[in-house]
A and B are shown apart, each in its own frame.
Chain A
Amino acid sequence: MDIAALRVAVKPFFEGWLKTDSNQMSLASFIIFICFASLVLRYWYIAVRTNQPLPKLRRIAGLDAMDESIGRATEMGRPVVYNAGISGFSAPTYAALAVLNYVARQTARFDTRLIGCFASAQVMVVAQAAIQTVYMEQGKADAFRPDDIRFLSGDQFGFASGCVGIMQRERAAAHHMFGSLAAEALILAEGGAAAGAIQISGQTNNLQQPFLIASCDYTLMVEEVYVASAYLSQDRLRIGMLSAQDIVKAIIVVVIFIGAIATTAGSTIVQDLLKVY
């Protein structure tokens, strides 16, 4: 196949309206996005309009342990500490806020103290309002303590030392770490372990994953963070989204597999096709 000729042929169709990126993979990524969006719509329809069964989610030990950790805190009369990572609003933070909603619901139900530690003032403000709403929904508006939702510091190590200090002083029984974490991840996790807290982590930084596996009781493996809200709520719509995600992942795996075979055989056709615009 003459890739150069294909590029020239394709260019007039997209030149005016589709941006190009430095890798020349705009068209490929746009097609993946369209595929994903179409699958989302399909599963939306299945989840909302039909009774068609959706795939079952496999067990995720870390998420099963959420209730256990909150129950432990309730029995011990000690607080649950939740930290939503150090970044501002990003996809991991949204996932962390979804889990925080669940944790707040459970702590409100069991009258357990919830302490939220935040490194982003923006996220803290939103989380405070969301937790307050959850407590009101549970009929426990009086149990909500605004002072327990704390903005500690925008500096990662300032935040880490503040959070570890709170865990030690308040003798946290459970420590949940979700969102985006960096070099402070191990400090937080070891601080929690020293306080005797049961620890569940779910973050998206590949580099920090080994440290958290080493120091936490349960660790969600990177993308499991995004599954958490669907898993905890067992909501059909959210599970449908995961199905769409898995299908796109399967397509990508097939492309990678074909690409690996083609490259091994000395052909660069898959790379060339992906970089056609």
Chain B
Amino acid sequence: MRRTLPVAIAFTAGMIMILDGWLNISFINTFANRYFMRFITVSSTWAVGLGALNVVRIHVRAIGMKRPNYGFSYVLLFFFFTMIIFGVFLERNTNNPFYQWLLASFRVPLSTAVYSLNSFYLASACYRTFRARSLESGALLIAATFTMIGSVPMGGAIWGGFPIISDWIIKIVNDAVIRAFSIGLTLGTLSQTVRNLVGIERGYMAAGE
């Protein structure tokens, strides 16, 4: 029962959603769009609450047990509760000026700063990869060199062939591989969905293998 019931629920819910995608059957369409969508919203909201509890519990425990770097937990909890108080309980909720100021002055710059790390990480990842240790990495190095040189104006000034080769690599080779990936991915997704629906894949259940 512990394994059969979740599989039965997953199968019924999944089939309703799949049939809703293709078929014009009013009770299936109504059920999928009205009840299932509402259920997804409700369950997501509950899960957000559980996620928040998880964060609070871990950091309160870190402070209580004075784990290494527990000072950061104070910072996290302070901002966590400040955002909740100003965004949920005080006037104008998420339009509250202080809440908006916190967002604009902390969250946005911090996010941007982390995103900008990508440029440095890209350089270090390229440095490690672009060493011709094998035939494959040699081919990657050559393709990358042509693509990079051909994509900057100076490349065309050095030799007119660079932009043409670069364009060919991006439009023909790259596109063909991406399309092959896409077909494989779509079928893989379909296969994963069917495995979940019929209960072959139970990794998402706390019901064991």
A206 close to chain B: CB less than 8 A: yes
Chain B residues contacting A187 (CB-CB under 8 Å) are: 114, 117-118, 121
Q: Are A91 and B189 interface neighbours, CB within 8 A?
A: yes
Nearest-Cβ distance from residue A172 to partner chain B, whole angstroms: 15
A235 CB contacts on chain B under 8 angstroms: 200
Q: Is A143 interfacial (CB-CB < 8 Å)?
A: no
A198 within 8 A of B: no
Interface pair A125/B47, CB less than 8 Å apart = yes
Which residue in B25, B47, B206 is a CB contact (below 8 Å) of A132?
B206
Chain A residue at minimum C-beta to C-beta distance from B193: A91
Known pairs A130-B203, A215-B125, A215-B128; A33 contacts B190 (CB<8 A):
yes
- Looking at A52-60, A155-163, A268-276, the stretch in contact with chain B turns out to be A155-163
Secondary structure class of chain B's binding surface, majority of residues: helix
Contact residues, A5-63 vs B (CB, 8 A): 16-19, 26, 29-30, 33, 36-37, 40, 44
Contacts A121-B54, A222-B185; A147 near B114 (Cβ below 8 A) = no
- Taking a contact as CB atoms closer than 8 A, the residue among B21, B48, B110, B181 that contacts A223 in the complex is B181
* A155, B118: Cβ atoms closer than 8 Å: no
* B118 and A94 within 8 A (CB): no
User: Is A81 part of the contact surface with B, judged by Cβ < 8 Å?
Assistant: no
Query: Which of A94, A130, A213 interacts with B192 by CB under 8 Å?
Result: A94
**Contacting residue for A252 out of B110, B183, B194, B206, CB 8 A:** B183
5 pairs from A and B in contact (CB 8 Å cutoff): A17-B25, A121-B49, A122-B47, A151-B55, A161-B110
Partner of A94, one of B18, B196, B198: B196
Q: A155–B107 contact, CB under 8 A?
A: yes
Per-position binary interface string of chain B over residues 93-117, scored 1 when its CB falls under 8 Å from any chain A CB and 0 otherwise? 0000000000000010011001101
Interface pair A36/B194, CB less than 8 Å apart? yes
Complex formed: what's the CA distance from A134 to B22 in Å?
Answer: 37
| Set of chain A residues within 8 Å of B204, measured between Cβ atoms | 89, 94, 97-98, 126, 130
* A137 near B24: Cβ-Cβ < 8 Å: no
When C-beta atoms are compared, the residue in chain B nearest to A132 turns out to be B206
> Which of B22, B57, B187 is A18 in contact with, Cβ under 8 Å?
B22
Decide if B122 touches A186 in the complex (CB within 8 Å): yes
Known: A147-B57, A190-B121, A213-B129. A222 touches B206 (CB 8 A): no
Q: Answer yes or no: A167 CB below 8 A from chain B CBs.
A: no
Indicate if the CB atoms of B126 and A214 lie closer than 8 Å. yes
In the complex formed, the residue of B with least CB distance to A225 is B188
B173 at the interface (CB under 8 A from A): no
Size category, B interface: 35 or more
Question: Is B33 part of the contact surface with A, judged by Cβ < 8 Å?
Answer: no
Query: Within 8 Å of chain B (Cβ to Cβ): is A133?
Result: yes
Residues of A within 8 A of B (CB): 16-19, 26, 29-30, 33, 36-37, 40, 44, 88-89, 91-92, 94-95, 97-101, 118, 120-122, 124-126, 129-130, 132-134, 137, 147, 149-152, 154-155, 157-158, 160-161, 169, 183-184, 186-187, 189-190, 193, 204, 206, 209, 211, 213-215, 221-223, 225-227, 229, 233, 235, 237-238, 241-242, 244-245, 248-249, 252-253
Contact of A151 with B206 at beta-carbon distance under 8 Å, contacts A157-B115, A186-B122 already known: no
Q: A17-B23, A223-B187, A248-B187 are in contact. Are A124 and B206 (CB under 8 A)?
A: no
User: What residues of chain A lie closer than 8 Å to B50, measured between beta carbons?
Assistant: 121, 124-125, 151
- B4 an interface residue at 8 Å Cβ cutoff? no
Minimum CB–CB distance from B89 to chain A (whole Å) comes to 20
Known: A37-B194, A137-B208, A215-B121. A98 touches B51 (CB 8 A): no
Residue B61 interfacial (CB < 8 Å): yes
A residues in contact with B23, CB < 8 Å: 17-19
Is B1 an interface residue when CB atoms closer than 8 A count as contact? no
Residues from chain B with a CB closer than 8 A to the CB of A95 are: 192
Given contact pairs A19-B23, A211-B122, A229 touches B203 in the complex (Cβ within 8 A): yes
Complex Cα gap A186–B111 (Å): 15
CB distance from A196 to the nearest CB of B (A): 13
Are the C-beta atoms of B191 and A245 separated by less than 8 Å?
yes
**Restricting to B30-78, which residues have a CB under 8 Å from any CB of A?**
43-44, 47-52, 54-55, 57-58, 61, 68-69
Q: Are A238 and B125 in contact (CB under 8 A)?
A: no
Cβ < 8 Å to A, chain B residues 161-209: 178, 181-185, 187-196, 198, 200-201, 203-209
The 7 closest A-B pairs by CB, nearest first: A121-B51, A129-B206, A98-B203, A226-B188, A223-B184, A122-B47, A190-B121
